[in-house]
């Protein structure tokens, strides 16, 4: 974790410790953020679609849980927190809304979403170590997140001379009519009512 920014560690730690329930680290890659949240006492599981990442994460962090999976494999109401730390950056502008809908629908009522990304005045592709990634204007990503049933709680932006501009958004799953539409758009059945 030495290579990560102190402000990022503080944000992720504070966010994770406020969540009362399971967290899924979506697109966990080599697993270091899953391990970090686990060390903070969080009930966390990392998922990634790349077998090599999952195998490596299991070797490096045997006390953590890791499974093959992706944002598309999330189940409805399956978690209280979703960390998407630089994992949604690989979705192009046309495909991002579907991924955000899956995240929203996978969160139980009151669930929290934390996304980290590279920010810029306009969204644009760039070469990344894994595969093509995209810059996102902060306000546009906030709007897209809110369109799929989230309420924005915090917005962060950081500009370091030695790295690309960084953005982070903390959002909470809304409990309004917009959420029912999000579930439907994400391919999940309507939530059953009780009582």
Question: Domain segments of the chain: what residues?
Answer: 6-185
- pLDDT in the model for residue 193: 34
Core vs surface per residue 12-50: b (16+ CB within 10 A) or e:
bbebbeebeebbbbbbbbbbbbbbbbbeeebbbbbbbeb
The residue among 72, 105, 104, 100 whose CA lies nearest residue 188 is 105
- pLDDT in the model for residue 10: 96
Q: Environment class of residue 132 by beta-carbon count within 10 Å: exposed (0-12), middle (13-18) or buried (19+)?
A: exposed
CA–chain centroid gap for 106, Å, is: 11
The residue among 85, 98, 72, 89 whose CA lies nearest residue 23 is 85
Instruction: Categorise residue 24: left if φ over 0, alpha if ψ from -120 to 50, beta otherwise.
Output: beta
CA–chain centroid gap for 65, Å, is: 17
Q: Environment class of residue 103 by beta-carbon count within 10 Å: exposed (0-12), middle (13-18) or buried (19+)?
A: buried
User: Which pLDDT tens digit goes with each residue over 123-143?
Assistant: 887 877 777 889 899 999 999
In degrees and rounded to multiples of 5, residue 105 shows phi and psi of -70, -25
Alpha-carbon gap, residue 180 to 111, rounded angstroms = 15
- pLDDT in the model for residue 17: 96
Q: What is the mean pLDDT of residues 67-94?
A: 91
CATH of 6-185, one of 3.30.450.20, 3.40.980.10, 3.40.710.10, 3.40.50.150: 3.40.50.150
Residue 53 has pLDDT above 70, yes or no: yes
pTM of the model: 0.87
Alpha-carbon gap, residue 88 to 127, rounded angstroms = 15
Q: Which residue has the higher pLDDT, 3 or 190?
A: 3
């Amino acid at each position: 974790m030495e290579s990560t920014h102190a402000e990022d560690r503080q944000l992720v730690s504070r966010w994770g410790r406020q969540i009362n329930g399971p967290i899924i680290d979506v697109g966990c890659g080599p697993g270091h953020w899953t391990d970090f949240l686990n060390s903070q006492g969080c009930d966390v599981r990392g998922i990634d679609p790349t077998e090599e990442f999952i195998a490596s994460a299991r070797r490096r962090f045997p006390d953590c849980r890791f499974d093959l999976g992706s944002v598309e494999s999330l189940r409805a109401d399956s978690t209280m927190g979703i960390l998407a730390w630089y994992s949604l950056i690989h979705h192009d502008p046309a495909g991002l809304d579907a991924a955000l809908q899956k995240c929203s629908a996978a969160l139980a009522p009151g669930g929290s979403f934390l996304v980290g990304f590279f920010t810029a005045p306009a969204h644009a592709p760039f070469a990344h170590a894994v595969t093509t990634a995209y810059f996102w204007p902060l306000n546009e990503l906030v709007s897209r997140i809110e369109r799929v049933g989230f309420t924005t709680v915090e917005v962060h932006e950081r500009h370091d001379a030695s790295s690309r501009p960084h953005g982070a958004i903390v959002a909470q799953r809304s409990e309004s009519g917009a959420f029912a539409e999000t579930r439907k758009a994400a391919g999940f059945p309507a939530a059953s009512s009780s009582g």
